Amino acid sequence: MICLSWTSLSGLATAEQPNVLFISVDDLNDWIGCLKGHPQARTPNIDRLAKSGTLFTNAHCGSPACNGSRSAIMSGQPAYVSGMYDNLQKMRTVMPDAELIPKYFSKHGYWSAGSGKILHYIIDAQSWDEYNPPKETEDPFPRTLYPEQRPVSLPRGGPWQYIETDWGGLDATDEEFGGDWLVSKWIGEQLSREHDKPFFLACGIYRPHEPWFVPQKYFDQFPLDEIQLPPGYAPDDIDDLPPAGKKLARNRYFAHIQNEGQWKQAIQGYLASIAFADAMVGRVITALEEGPNNDNTIVMLWSDHGWHLGEKEHWQKYTGWRVCTRVPLIVRVPPGTSGLDEGTQPGSVCQAPVSLVSLYTTLIELAGLPAKASLHEPSLVPLLKDPQTTWPHMAVTQLMSPENYSVSGSRWRYIHYANGDEELYDVESDPYEWNNLAGDPKFAEPLSRLKQHGPKDPAEFVPPAPSSLTKLKWHPAGSTSVPASNPDGNRFNVTFTNRSGQPVKVFQSVGDQTPQPFGVLESGWSKPQLTRPGTVWLIMDTNDQPLGHFVVGDRTAQAVIPKP
């Protein structure tokens, strides 16, 4: 009988292989001290981590939305390869066989565990050995304290508005708030104990994702009368944008926030939420440094995408501009690590354009695990060895459909829209992208060069299955009065599914006028219908007796008509 030791198993982890601490901070743009995105940002713990490792100052997300970005990072498959473009898609519908980072590490002898938001509102239980909350729940969020009455600061501008766009200080301690404090507590406990295997440990910090409710002490760090506007804001910034750029730039959120006199209050909420997130990162890093695993643990900190706070007259994300694609990325590798024996140089800075989709490839090489052929972005290990080394690559950020993307180089940035519109910026002299150079023949060469790095034959968009969509609330007839329709916002599909056991008639409510009929939906049938936020849809039986109604929310959904 032959006894195999850990170290003798080819391709499996050995006791000497490094641990990985993988920290995600949601919706964090460059408003951290070491990236100097906003002069008032307070992030001493993230800055401390940057001083102990390598800071990438030109890192970009694979997609400017949570789902596309996180799916690309965790699978190593950019959206233009996988077809995973949109927040409404489901990762396992689009990529049913993708082997995520934790699964690959687990397969090679690691203990893979996590807490908080790493994927887009799911855990993907099959990919983890352990999770907190338990992976079987598929809910990555621990209990979190929110105000009983909302909105607190920003009145709803209409049915088009995301309900979580709101902010305010809470009369609570960090522990009472829960949320990221509980995530950092659980992660800290894992870091503070010894393990019989190397570990891949993922920590998902949710703030500064909306809503920006955190304990009041974080708001107190940023007195309202001292709040400064975003450095990248210019009132005439969108004048030189092509039509597609202007359409994407100006959205209702920013105008509504300005009209309500809440711009500085919102900035305060974002800064306070960043400060809270930084404190939670500090708890995790301190637990690592004071525990038994510090000398053998790689640390990666990243954000899934940036965030607009008025730049380009835009609020939120979903754009190809630098404020939305550029993200914090910090990597600390201890000496003696399999793939980088000398470790990272403390305080080193890399300005090369890199993509977060490279993190999978990079971790595999650092850990000394077998290469994985399906990964699509180069390893960052050469840059960790020498941040000034030649780097021929550019970073592609895929927007919400195949033909919309941006390309980030060392000096130039290019944005391409599906209708052929283009933008070009020299970020060396114009870091806030105020001057679109795409129409100037003098800059035809850099435009053409960056365009060559755009996706070739991008994967088609895979629409979400109706069953995977958010379900609209069904209001049975007589249970509540039927409100007036208030259609307001962009059009999108709602899929009506009839599970009532009988044919039904579908009508659109149009105020005081006779409801507009949209035909009969047979029992068991589903049918998509273009609609707008705030529209009321009435459901009747074939004798025109009311069965109930739906009120359309702010996004694509499924309207399921139940049995009476």
Residues designated catalytic: 66, 120
Report the distance separating Cα 233 and Cα 53, nearest Å: 31
Closest by CA to 368, choosing from 84, 98, 16, is: 16
Phi, psi of 546 (to 5 degrees): -65, 135
Residue positions counted in the chain: 564
CA distances, 246 to each of 49, 184, 323 (Å):
38, 40, 16
DSSP-H helix ranges across 108-261:
174-177, 180-191, 216-219, 243-249, 252-259
Torsion, Cα of 7, 371, 385, 197 (10° steps): -30
Rounded to 5 degrees, what are φ and ψ at 54? Answer: -110, 125
| Contact yes or no for 270/307 (Cβ under 8 A) | yes
Among residues 22, 25, 547, which one has the least CA distance to residue 277?
A: 25
Neighbours of 206 (CB within 10 A): 23
Cis (ω within 30 of 0) for the bond into 211? yes
Closest CA to 327 of 270, 397, 251, 264: 397
Pinpoint the alpha helices (H) of 291-424: 322-325, 359-367, 381-385
d(CA 42, CA 293): 28
d(CA 44, CA 132): 27
For residues 446 and 439, the answer to whether their CB atoms sit within 8 Å is no
Q: Give the Cα separation of 268 and 261 in Å (integer).
A: 13
Q: Which amino acid is at 499?
A: R
Q: How many angstroms separate the Cα of 113 from the Cα of each of 25, 109, 297, 320, 541?
A: 17, 13, 15, 33, 51
Rounded to an integer, what distance in angstroms lies between the CA atom of residue 56 and that of residue 463? 34
Q: How far is CA 205 from the centre of its chain?
A: 11
Residue 415: exposed, middle, or buried by beta-carbon count in 10 A (0-12, 13-18, 19+)?
buried
DSSP annotation of 337: B
Alpha-carbon distance 110 to 120, whole Å?
Answer: 23
DSSP assignments along 36-63, one per residue: TSSTT---HHHHHHHHTSEEETTEE-SS
| Secondary structure (3-state) at 318 | coil
Let me know: does 77 contact 374? Beta carbons within 8 Å: yes
Token pair of 122 as six digits: 């799911």
